[in-house]
Amino acid sequence: MKKTKFLIPFGLVLFFSACSPMKSSPKEEKHQMELTLHEVQTNLDDLRHDLNCFQTEMQITNGKVKHQEDATQNLKQNHFEKLQNKIESLTKQINHLENRVLTFDTKSNTSNKTLSELSNHANETTTSLTQYKAKINELEKILMNQNSRIDEIAKIKTTLQDIVKTIKSDSSNFIIYKVKPRDSLEKIAKANNVTVESLMHLNNLENDLIVIGQKLKVPK
């Protein structure tokens, strides 16, 4: 640490000199004055040195304060930029979430509309199925009636077949006729006083077409 000097003011030196009981010569007084001035000058130099040191320390302190202020400002700026970036990131995330919510709402509305359409279609399908089921029941009844008729026709057919077999088994009841040119089944039936149907049944014909040279059974 720097030692502090105790300075004696020049007036006090003069005062003590004047009050001294011993009288000095002018030469001694001059020498004393020079010493006092030298000491005052030395004290002034010390004061200037201290002032310069103080100013230097103040400059260093101001530099440190300025550096600290700059560092604080940089920290504030960096913190502000980080907060700004975070706010922008959060804003983007919020916008993204809002878009997803809107998309979800749109899909939900579309799904609800589709479900409503499917429900209506299902109701219409159920109604159509009910109608088809009723028609199927009617068709089943018609088929049952037709089956009954088919059974009756089959019985009639069996009876006719039995009659034809009986006719065929009795060869004395018909003659063999050989088809000639310009003959027709109707012409042959009229000539023999029989019906075309009886000739067709007797000869197992599906229609009335005949050919020349064909042999037909004709009832007597």
Same domain, yes or no, for 192 and 137?
no
Q: Output the pTM of the full model.
A: 0.31
Q: Is residue 106 part of a domain?
A: yes
The pLDDT of residue 20: 47
Q: Of 119, 146, 162, which one is at a domain's C-terminal end? A: 162
Q: Is residue 33 part of a domain?
A: no
Same domain, yes or no, for 154 and 189?
no
Q: Is residue 11 part of a domain?
A: no
The pLDDT of residue 186: 94
The pLDDT of residue 170: 53
Same domain, yes or no, for 101 and 77?
yes
Q: Is residue 182 part of a domain?
A: yes
- Could you tell me the CA-to-CA distances from 60 to 67, 71, 98 in Å, in that order? 10, 16, 55
* Distance, CA of 204 to CA of 214 (rounded, Å): 13
111 lies in which domain range? Answer: 65-162
197 pLDDT band, cuts 50/70/90, is very high
Q: Is residue 55 part of a domain?
A: no
18 pLDDT band, cuts 50/70/90, is very low
Tally of domains in the chain: 2
- Whether the CB-CB separation of 220 and 173 falls below 8 Å is answered with yes
Q: Indicate the residue type of 56.
A: T
The pLDDT of residue 72: 85
118-136 mean pLDDT: 87
Q: Is residue 12 part of a domain?
A: no
- pLDDT of 163 higher than 80: no
Q: Of 162, 178, 201, which one is at a domain's C-terminal end? A: 162
Same domain, yes or no, for 157 and 179?
no
Same domain, yes or no, for 70 and 108?
yes
Give per-residue pLDDT as tens, 128-147. 889 988 988 888 889 888 88
Q: Indicate the residue type of 188.
A: I
Q: Contacts for 11-15 with beta carbons within 8 Å, 24 or more apart?
A: none
